[in-house]
Structure formats: structure tokens, C-alpha cells
């Protein structure tokens, strides 16, 4: 069973993701229809550019398959805003439904607009920030 979502105030998840791979965290959207927040992935050893997505299958980063606003730009500090209600600017989650929070640093060769990890693996912190 996936943990309830969102889980604010639980600190950060520090992880290491091997180059060319992803980490998929299974979640279930909270039953509340008034919650929103921002996931932030910050790489801390200077060798990667990360990307975040929220999907119904693990490891999906394809914007054509995902819902609107459900994949972040590839940045040293990637961020993705989500909601449990209708929003034109955030990834919309349906209360009570299962999802995956996907994290990746992509391949070794940096390319504009794409995730990359020049080391064998890239380490990062993931936090879930509540909306204000």
C-alpha cells in the first residue's frame, strides 16, 4: 500500500539515482480536494540536471502521455506543482488514485533541456512543499 499523499513536514528524501535510470515513488493522492504543493528535486554534488514527473506508471517522463503540467523542466533544481483539484497551471491528481513520483538525471551527455548526470550516479534531495 502506498503512503498517503501529500506528506508534508516529513523532511526530505535524500537519494542517489544511477545515470540512465530513474526512481519511482508510489503514492496515493489524499482524499482531500483542497490540497496543493510543489515537489522540488535539488541535486547537491554539482554533477546533474534533474527532472520530475507524476504519472500512473513508473518511469514515465513523456509529456505526450502525461497529463498537462505533470513533467518538470530539466534543471539543477527541478520543481513540479501539483493539486488535488482543477488547475490550469499544476499537475492534477484525482483524490484516492494511485500515482508515481518519478525522478531521473538521464544520461551522461549534457544536452540543453534534457536531464543529465556526468557522474556514475547523482545524489539529490526531494522535498514536498505545501502551497501557501
Domain ranges of the chain: 15-107
Q: Mean pLDDT across the stretch 96-111?
A: 89
Separation CA 7–CA 9 (nearest Å): 7
CB-based contacts of 119, cutoff 8 Å, min separation 6: 19, 45, 47, 48
Residue 121 banded pLDDT, cuts 50, 70, 90: confident
Residue 82 has pLDDT above 50, yes or no: yes
- pLDDT for 106 equals 87
Separation CA 131–CA 111 (nearest Å): 31
- pLDDT for 55 equals 97
Higher-confidence position of 42 and 11: 42
| pTM listed for this prediction | 0.88
Amino acid at each position: 500500500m502506498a503512503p498517503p499523499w501529500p506528506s508534508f513536514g516529513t523532511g526530505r528524501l535524500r537519494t542517489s539515482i544511477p545515470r540512465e535510470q530513474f526512481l519511482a515513488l508510489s503514492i496515493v493522492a489524499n482524499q482531500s480536494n483542497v490540497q496543493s504543493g510543489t515537489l522540488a528535486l535539488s541535486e547537491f554534488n554539482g554533477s546533474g540536471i534533474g527532472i520530475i514527473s507524476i504519472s500512473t506508471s513508473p518511469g514515465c517522463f513523456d509529456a505526450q502521455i502525461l497529463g498537462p503540467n505533470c513533467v518538470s523542466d530539466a534543471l539543477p533544481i527541478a520543481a513540479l506543482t501539483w493539486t488535488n483539484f482543477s488547475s490550469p497551471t499544476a499537475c492534477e491528481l484525482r483524490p484516492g488514485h494511485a500515482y508515481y513520483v518519478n525522478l531521473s538525471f538521464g544520461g551522461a551527455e549534457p544536452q540543453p533541456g534534457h536531464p543529465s548526470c556526468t557522474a556514475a550516479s547523482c545524489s539529490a534531495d526531494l522535498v514536498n512543499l505545501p502551497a501557501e
